[in-house]
Amino acid sequence: MRWWMLGLFLAAGLSLGGCAQAEPLQSAPHAPVELSSWHVRWDAAAGDADYRAMRGKLSKVVIFAACYDEKDELYVPQEVQALVNAYSIRKVERYLSFTNDILGKKHVEKDRELLRRLLATDEGIEKEAQAMAEMAEKFGMEGVELDYENFRKDEELTARYLAFTKRLAAVTKERGLKLRIVLEPGMAFDAGFPEDAEYVVMFYNLHGKHSGPGPKADRDFIEKTLKKMEALPGRKAAAFATGGCLWQDYGFFGLKKGEARFLTEKEAAALAKKHGRTPERDAESAALHFTFSADGHDGEVWYADAETLNAWITLAAENGVEVVSLWRLGGSETLADVRCE
């Protein structure tokens, strides 16, 4: 028994020693990457400021986003139309993003039931593919972005979605439009996607409102997702997220928790300053984090600044990634310091 226990202690010591010797995740010079970003309708003015800061570095911008009305018809909010108009004179490649959100008297994000209705038949698939391409052409876009989410555990719906991606790839190619397809990291990348698309994999949401405190991405998550991404055809892009999240009164392994909400980098930095806290940088994610107490509540914040993003981009570039997308423009203090190489 004593030898068995000694073995456990030695194994633990070696493990801890290995962790102690690991280099912190950090930025470094790397092979050039192409940068793009999303400009969202609900933070258009702040997005403009970040676009100006990043203008010389961005090769494309995705206007986010067209959605659906309560009659299952494509719908372009006024704020999106305004962004379309603003980008008509900007010298950058433009894409219009299409989501499975419903916007009307009710607002439903990532609606799985909507997708069941839209993609139930081949006729429905044809209608949506043509409608997206026509709308992108109407607005003078160079490309279409498909951002359907929240269905990957439904095998039947996933099969219909794959059929749709193939038809959309064919339709956009026929019309001379480019195609980006956004994929959640849990998606089966070897499911049989078409060749004629750029695949943008979300390297975020490791932690968020759905979980306890932590970074949106870390070394292990990025490396595992990069390996999995090799199964995708076509051009591959890694998407990293700006900003972070605030967790209030989180404890006892999640049995105790209060409000959780997303923050921009500016909001997180202002919160740290307000409470006299100096954020620390996590070695495994390069993310900044701090805790504070106010009004009888405990808060914990994790967020990304330019160094965090540069560290993530460095790791991706070292593993052969040549295209990076940033979610999103708006609310950043240091986005101008993000590097392409």
C-alpha distance across the termini of the chain, in Å: 55
Q: What is the DSSP letter of 83?
A: H
**57: CATH:** 3.20.20.80
Domain range for 170: 26-242+305-337
pTM surpassing 0.85?
yes
Tokens of 4: 């068995």
* β-strand partners of 74: 68
**Structure confidence by residue, pLDDT tens digits, 190-244:** 999 999 999 999 999 999 999 999 999 999 999 999 999 999 999 999 999 999 9
**Structure confidence by residue, pLDDT tens digits, 271-285:** 999 999 999 999 999
**Structure confidence by residue, pLDDT tens digits, 294-312:** 999 999 999 999 999 999 9
Q: Quick check: is 247 in a domain?
A: no
Total domains, the chain: 1
Q: Quick check: is 170 in a domain?
A: yes
Q: Quick check: is 16 in a domain?
A: no
Strand-pair category, 107-108 with 93-103:
antiparallel
Residues 96 and 139: beta-carbon distance below 8 Å: yes
Q: Quick check: is 284 in a domain?
A: no
More confident residue, 163 or 2: 163
**Structure confidence by residue, pLDDT tens digits, 323-337:** 999 999 999 999 999
Q: List Cα–Cα distances, 150 to 99, 128, 201, in angstroms.
A: 11, 18, 14
Q: Quick check: is 98 in a domain?
A: yes
Cα-Cα-Cα-Cα torsion 129, 65, 161, 224, nearest 10 degrees, comes to 140
Say whether pLDDT at 36 is over 60: yes
Say whether pLDDT at 176 is over 80: yes
Packing angle, helices 306-318 and 219-229, rounded to 10: 40
**Structure confidence by residue, pLDDT tens digits, 103-126:** 988 899 999 999 999 999 999 999
* β-strand partners of 113: none
Q: Quick check: is 138 in a domain?
A: yes
Long-range CB contacts (within 8 A, 24+) of 124-130: 125/160, 125/163, 125/164, 125/167, 126/167, 128/74, 128/164, 128/168, 129/164, 129/167, 129/168, 129/170, 129/171, 130/171
Q: Mention every residue, 6+ apart, whose C-beta is less than 8 A from residue 53.
A: 332, 335, 336
Residue 148: left if φ>0, alpha if ψ -120 to 50, beta else—which one? Answer: beta
